[in-house]
Amino acid sequence: MGADLYIKNLPKDKQITGFEVSDEARASGYFRDCYNEGGLFAVISSNTGNELSWWATASRKSLFKQIDDEFCMTVKGAEQWLAELKPIINAFVKLPSLYYSVYNVTTHGYDKGKDIEDSEVKEYRKWAKGLIKFLNARFGR
């Protein structure tokens, strides 16, 4: 399960499915994040203290407009979201190390989990920079 960002309408046969974060996918107007502790926004949230989960973002109705049966982020909403994300991601990519969070059923909160290996830290940094590059490209920044 994941959150899919489509910047433009793509025919179903052209949509990329699964876990896809390649430059080719971003160039086609697509970015994907998963809904688990290994997802980009979960790791950014855990390591920066900023709540950036897709659930939290989706609850911000000022960023979205209902089109048919779906809520889609508006251009104005995306520009606002991008402006909020940039300083957080810029700080995130400079962190010397990263860790996963694990859900604590007793406190109903998140505790620091295992450290992320250096090779994976590089991938998360690349992924975060790719998201900003993706959004910048779509909004002429």
| Residue 20 one-letter amino acid | E
Query: Where do the domains of the chain lie?
Result: 2-138
Q: What is the DSSP letter of 12?
A: G
Residue 111 is predicted with a pLDDT of 83
- Mean pLDDT, range 8-25, rounded to an integer: 55
Q: Within 10 Å of residue 119's Cβ, how many Cβ atoms?
A: 7
- pTM, rounded to two decimals: 0.76
**pLDDT of 61 above 90:** no
- Quick: pLDDT tens for 77-120: 888 988 999 999 999 999 999 999 887 888 877 788 899 999 99
Q: How far apart are CA 39 and CA 31, in angstroms?
A: 12
| Residue 48 one-letter amino acid | T
Average pLDDT over the chain reads 79
